[in-house]
Amino acid sequence: MGVMSAEFTIGDVKDWIGDNDKKLKILNRIVDFETENDVSSTFEDRTDGADWEPGSDVPMPPSYIGMVKSAPFSKALLDSRNNTVLTLKDLETVKDAISDVEDEPDEWSEEWLEDQLGDNKIDEALSDVSVSESDKKEIDSILESADALEYWSEYVIPELKHRRLAKKAILIMLASPEDTHGTKGRVNMLAYGPPGTGKSVIKHFLVDKFSAESIDGPRVSKADITYNKSTDKFGQLPKAHKGLLVVEESDEMDEKPLGASLTSLGESGKIEIRDKEIPAEARGVFLSNFSSVHSAIEQWSEESVNRFDFKIKFDRLEEDDKDDVISWHYEHFRKPKPSENEDLFMKYLKLCRGYYPEIAEPEEIDEFKNKNISQFENVREGISVMNIAWIVARLNLSDVTLEHYKTAYQLVTQ
C-alpha cells in the first residue's frame, strides 16, 4: 500500500473516515483537486497556489471544516486573501486509505458478514496440521482392521472415562459437514444429568482444541449471545458460525437467549439482528442438570429438544468405574495429561473432513428405513439418521452403506 508518513498512517485516515459518507466525499474532493493541480506527493515539497478552499465546490458545514482542519493528515493555511485553505500532508497515503475504504464491503452486506464471521472454525483449528503420505498409510491401516467410530472416539477427551456414547457424539459433531442445499449437516448434543458427572470436561476440550464459543447459561443475556448495540460487537452465536457453541447449565437459561440459541442450532442456522437474518450455523453442545429428556421437554418444549441429534444421559458412575476415574487422576495428579496420540488423531480428523462420501447403497437404506419408520419420532429425526450415517461413512473414509445407516439409526434412536 501507500507511503507511511512520519505523522500519520493509512489506518489513521481510515479511522477518521469511519462509515461517514460525507467525510469520504470531502476527502475525495481534496484528493481530486490536488491531483488535478499536479500537486507534489508530500506537503513539504508543495508550492503555493495548489491548496483547496473548504466549501468552494463541496458543501461543508462549519463543523466539518473544523474536523478536516484538525485531522492528522491535513494542514490549514491562509492564502493571499486571508482565506482558510486546506492541503494534504501526504497525498499518496490518503489516496491509498480512500481506496481501502471504498473497496471494503458495505456494513451488514453478505460480503461484510462473511469477513466478520470468518471461515469454518473447526477447519481453522486444523489449519496447521499437516498430513503426510506415511500418515495416510498409518490411518488407512487402522481403518482396515477397526471401525473408525469405535477406534477414534477413544482419542476424544482422554480423561472422560466410561462415556462412550458422548465421545462418539463429539467425534461425529467434529466431523459433521456444513449445511448445503437447504439440508443441515451440523450435529447438536444435549448432555443431561446431575452435577459432578463429567459434563464440563467436554467444554474444556472443545474450547481448548477447537476454539469453541462458551457461555454460562444462567448469566447470559440475549444481547450477550447475539449482538450488543452499545459495543457494536457480535455475541457468541454469530461467532460460533460454522463452529461450536458450548452452553453450561443450559437448563437455567432465560427464555430469550435460549430461544435465540435454539434457532441458531436449527435448520435455518440464523438469528435476527437489526431486522436482518444473520448466519449463525453453530454446532451446539448443551450441558444441563435435567434429570431426563422428559423434564427438558416440560421446561423447554418438544420442538426445542428435537433440535438435538443426541440426547445423552450422564448417570453417576458405578463404584468400579468411579474408582477407575479417580485412580487415573491420581496417577496424573499435577502432571501433564497424556496426549493419547493426539497428533495422529488431529491428522485423521483433518483427513476425514476433506472426504465427501457418496450414497453407495440407497435402495438397501430405503428398505431398512421403511421397515423401521415407526421408530422415528418425527421427520427431523429421520433426516438426522441419514446425516449421521453420512458422517460415520466419512469417518471411515468410505461411501455410505447400509451398515453405516444402521449404526446411525442405533445411535439416534436408542
**What would the pLDDT profile of 31-61 be if each residue is shown by its tens digit?**
888 888 876 655 555 545 567 888 788 888 8
Residue 95 three-state SS:
helix
- Could you tell me the maximum CA-CA distance found in the chain, to the nearest angstrom? 95
Alpha-carbon distance values, 16 to 43, 76, 257, 363 (Å): 19, 17, 36, 63
Distance CA 95, CA 107 (A): 21
Residue 203's pLDDT is what?
95
pLDDT at 280 exceeding the cut of 50: yes
Tell me how many degrees the CA angle 18-23-25 measures, rounded to the nearest 5: 120
Show me where the domains of the chain are located.
10-104, 136-354
Q: What is the pLDDT of residues 73-101, one digit of tens each?
A: 988 887 777 777 888 888 889 999 988 88
Question: Pick from 46, 68, 36, 38: which is nearest to 55 by CA?
Answer: 68
Q: Over range 357-361, report the average pLDDT.
A: 97
Reference 50, options 26, 24, 30; nearest CA is 30
Beta strands, E only, 254-309 = 270-273, 276-279, 283-288
Residue holding cell 458495505?
Answer: 106
Are the C-beta atoms of 139 and 347 separated by less than 8 Å?
Answer: yes
All residues at 6 or more sequence positions from 314 whose CB lies less than 8 Å from its CB, including other chains:
163, 166, 191, 192, 193, 194, 197, 198, 199
**Top mean-pLDDT range of 90-94, 141-145, 336-340:** 141-145
Question: At residue 2, does pLDDT exceed 50?
Answer: no
Reply yes or no on whether the pLDDT at 260 is more than 90.
yes
Instruction: Give me the torsion for CA of 57, 63, 67, 69, rounded to 10°.
Output: 60
Which distant-in-sequence residues (6+ apart) come within 8 Å of 103 by Cβ? Answer: none
User: Grid coordinates 488407512 are at which residue?
Assistant: 140
CATH number of this structure's domain 136-354: 3.40.50.300
d(CA 412, CA 257): 27
- List 189's β-bridge partners, or say none: 285, 310
pLDDT (0 to 100) of residue 75:
83
**Residue position matching grid coordinates 444421559:** 313
Q: What is the phi-psi region of residue 79: left when phi exceeds 0, alpha when psi lies from -120 to 50, beta otherwise?
A: beta
Element (H, E) at 12: helix 10-17
pTM: 0.80
Average pLDDT over residues 171-194: 95
CA angle 354, 175, 381 (to 5 degrees): 125
Close Cβ partners of 335 (under 8 Å, ≥ 6 residues apart): none
- What average pLDDT does this structure show over 390-408? 98
Of residues 3 and 296, which shows the higher confidence score? 296
Dihedrals phi, psi of 21, to nearest 5 degrees: -65, -35
Q: What is the pLDDT of residue 4?
A: 41
> Regarding predicted confidence, which is higher, 172 or 114?
172
Name beta bridge partners: 261: none
Task: Tell me 153's DSSP state.
Answer: G
Confidence check: pLDDT of 365 > 60: yes
Average pLDDT of span 162-190? 96
